[in-house]
Amino acid sequence: MAIRIVVVGMGPRGQDWLREVQTAPGYELVACVDIDLMARKRASSNLALASGQCFTELREALDQHSCDAVIVATSAAMHVGPCELALARGLAVMVEKPFTLSLRDAVKLVALAEEKRAPLIVAQNYRYMRSFRTARRLINAGALGSVGMVVCQYYRVPQAMAASLASLNNSALWGAGIHHLDALRYILKKRVIGVLAEAFTLPWGRLPTGGSLQTMLTFEDETRALYSATYESSGHEFFERGQEFYLRFVGERGTLHVFQRWLMLCETGKLPRPVRRGPREVTEERILLDQLERALIDGEEPDSSGRDNLQTMAMAEACLRSAAEHAWINPQELLDECR
């Protein structure tokens, strides 16, 4: 029997999920939800949805349609309500990043999911991108030996932002940082025990506070990382649609450079060599849907579970507190406070 899905949020990301569900074997889209009439009309027109499949409220959709799981793709500030409603009914949930905008809310949702024995997945799809998967494979295979330092930089022009993100404080953290911080800990398989962050917007910038983020991270084995992200760069509008990404892993045996989608391995005493990422057999979203399917059918713990994502949320919360208090913050202590 197909897994029956309701998708909440019909913006660009929600429509991505609608397309994935409609083309994924073993899934059936039963309803979509959005408070905005035009968003519902666009989704209905683009994806050939029946009028009886479109709703303004999740509760109404769940009352009228039997389903197994809910995908929450609303704006970040609206994640908690739909997740809570679906989990309370014992339904599986996959929620877009960021999980929530506060660690305490995330902890409560994980507790509810575990009480109801309902799978809960956070759609941190960047960790499954080929560049990051390749970096993880090389580092886990020992190509760099012990990794001692990481440098990660991300630039994007503000006009590329969704309106819901542009209206938030700390947009650099919630838009890009939440992806990259999650990917770093996923690649290194290490917890972060120290965060020192500064969030700001340039004097001439138009974004709310936090359009840029600079962060120092200490991992549990003393690996150090420098991370910066900004939606205020204007130097690369004609390159990669205004985006620039660079990541460097410095190890005892060499250095791995990741620039956009290209990887270069520089082993000590050897000539630099490019590293192929391999084919993209399925989308990152399909990987997440496969996790959801295995969780529902086989009871398998999802790789990108809500509980796993509490580490990422604790890093984000530490960034916010550090920026406010101008002090080092330990994400593990924040998790202890919430438990």
Where are the domains positioned within the chain?
Answer: 3-125+283-303, 127-280+317-325
CATH T-level topology, domain 3-125+283-303: Rossmann fold (3.40.50)
Yes or no: domain 127-280+317-325 corresponds to CATH 3.30.360.10: yes
Contact yes or no for 334/191 (Cβ under 8 A): no
Mean pLDDT, range 219-223, rounded to an integer: 94
Residue 237 has pLDDT above 70, yes or no: no
What's residue 163's pLDDT?
A: 84
What's residue 1's pLDDT?
A: 79
pLDDT band at residue 322 under the 50/70/90 scheme: very high
pLDDT band at residue 41 under the 50/70/90 scheme: confident
Residue 155 has pLDDT above 70, yes or no: yes
β-pairing verdict for 92-96 and 54-55? unpaired
Question: What is the amino acid identity at position 315?
Answer: M
Torsion of CA 292, 296, 300, 304, to 10 degrees: 20
What's residue 43's pLDDT?
A: 79
Residue range 84-94, pLDDT digits in tens: 999 999 999 99
The edge-to-edge listing of strands for the beta sheet with 27-33 is 54-55, 27-33, 3-8, 69-72, 92-96, 120-123
What's residue 157's pLDDT?
A: 81
Residue range 269-282, pLDDT digits in tens: 999 999 999 888 89
Q: Which helix (H) or strand (E) holds 178?
A: helix 178-188
Closest CA to 118 of 60, 61, 70, 62: 70
Torsion of CA 153, 154, 157, 158, to 10 degrees: -110
Closest CA to 337 of 88, 102, 95: 102
Mean pLDDT, range 44-72, rounded to an integer: 90
Name the β-bridge partners of 153: 228, 246
Residue range 290-315, pLDDT digits in tens: 999 999 999 999 999 999 999 999 99
Q: With b meaning 16 or more CB within 10 Å and e meaning fewer, what string describes 2-13?
A: ebbbbbbbbbeb
